[in-house]
Amino acid sequence: MTNYVPEPIAHPMMPVANHDEHAREDITVDIKKWMTSYIYPNDELVYERKAKPKFKKQHGRGPEDCDEVHHLMLDEPYTQMWSSIARTLQEMLWDNQGEITAREMPRLKAEAKKYLRDPKGSLTLDSNFKTPRYVDAVDIHCMPGGYQTSLTDDDLFVAGVYERGAYYYTKGMGGRRREGPGTAMVNAIRNFYPEFSPKRILDVGCTTGGTSTSIASAWPEAEFHAIDVGPAVMRYAHARAECLDQKVHFHLMSGDDMSFPDQSFDLVVSGGVFHETSVKGARGMIKEMRRVLRSGGITMHYDIPFGGAFNIHEQFMLNWDCWYNAEPFWRQWTAWDRTDFLIEAGFKKECVVDTWADRDRHGNFAFFEKPFDETHPSAQGGTGRVQFFGAKK
């Protein structure tokens, strides 16, 4: 196959695949890319030429929303075919990562021990901490153990699975050092607030700290804190940051109930957290983020796109993950206008920024205001785009 994705550049805490495991990674990504290029785009043809006319004949009108499109397309063999392949690929991808991480676990634990002997940063775990139910009720996007599983005091399994798996899940688009989302976040902040130079930064929902360490290296003088609700991912993130020589203070803490004082950060960020959070959790989190932000401080987030910008068939495609990929909150997040979300939390409309980002073929992010600016040199189009949104307090 020709669509080969290079291996991620390993740091000592990255699980390393052997030959056969890597061959499985390649084949999974190749099929994913093939689906994106050749299979998904034709679903719209099946919808327009076959399913929609059939629906109109039955109901005297066309489908009115993405849920009607979803139920209609369930009967289409073409949609059944790609949906089944997509789900199988997802399970193959994560199962393979589980095998790699399980085999690598003794080495990863030894590396963690070594790097945590004399740490620059810190890790605060609270033994009474209770992971929110919306996180531990599901192994999100079919990832074995989700974010929450921690079976022993030195367990790193789900974190290792995520660290390497996230690279292949996103078909290598997160950058070979997993630096992509963090550098994009820094670019977004510098794009909108060129003079801004934060002294205290908080990353909410940091998982293994990929975004945190990229942002920390952009403002090396700043004091950096990062929180998450999974003990194993926090343990791993701490060791990972130390092996990358980054000083980060990690805390096992929920974003909707933080113990930081009011107005204690200049910059509060999150990446990919809200679409995996209940409505109540997301509302609680953005309110808390505003509380801990000082006046004049900035909050900035990236996440999957707002569905309202797409037609109802595209929304059905965008929301597939909610129904078939163990992403229970995805559908409600894609229905939520980002500006409204920030205003509801208390930010003023005139202080909100809401923009779209895409990658060029070199993997660099660029930002534009309209979702369908296909003339932009970076625009690859489609629902794979991400949205950056934020506000000044």
List residues near ligand SAM by CB under 6 A.
132, 135, 147, 181, 204-207, 210-211, 227-230, 233, 254-256, 271-273, 276-277, 281, 285
CA distance 287 to 295: 14
Smallest distance, Å, CB 69 to ligand SAM?
A: 26
DSSP 6: P
Measured from the CB atom, is 230 or 371 closer to ligand SAM? 230
User: Which residue is nearest to ligand SAM, using beta carbons?
Assistant: 205
Measured from the CB atom, is 313 or 385 closer to ligand SAM? 385
Measured from the CB atom, is 73 or 233 closer to ligand SAM? 233
Smallest distance, Å, CB 14 to ligand SAM?
A: 13
DSSP 256: T
DSSP string, 90-135: HHHHHHHHHHHHHHHHHHHHHHHHHHTSS-SSEEE--TT----HHH
Measured from the CB atom, is 272 or 363 closer to ligand SAM? 272
CA distance 257 to 281: 10
Token duo for residue 184: 């994009």
Give residue 382's region: left, alpha or beta (phi > 0; psi -120 to 50).
Answer: left
Measured from the CB atom, is 183 or 254 closer to ligand SAM? 254
Smallest distance, Å, CB 284 to ligand SAM?
A: 8
Opening angle at CA 388, ends 384 and 195, nearest 5: 145
Neighbours of 128 (CB within 10 A): 4
Smallest distance, Å, CB 274 to ligand SAM?
A: 9
The SS3 assignment for 160 reads helix
Beta bridge partners of residue 202, listed in sequence order: 225, 268
Neighbours of 358 (CB within 10 A): 22
Measured from the CB atom, is 5 or 379 closer to ligand SAM? 5
Smallest distance, Å, CB 220 to ligand SAM?
A: 18
Q: Are 273 and 255 in contact (CB under 8 A)?
A: yes
Smallest distance, Å, CB 182 to ligand SAM?
A: 7
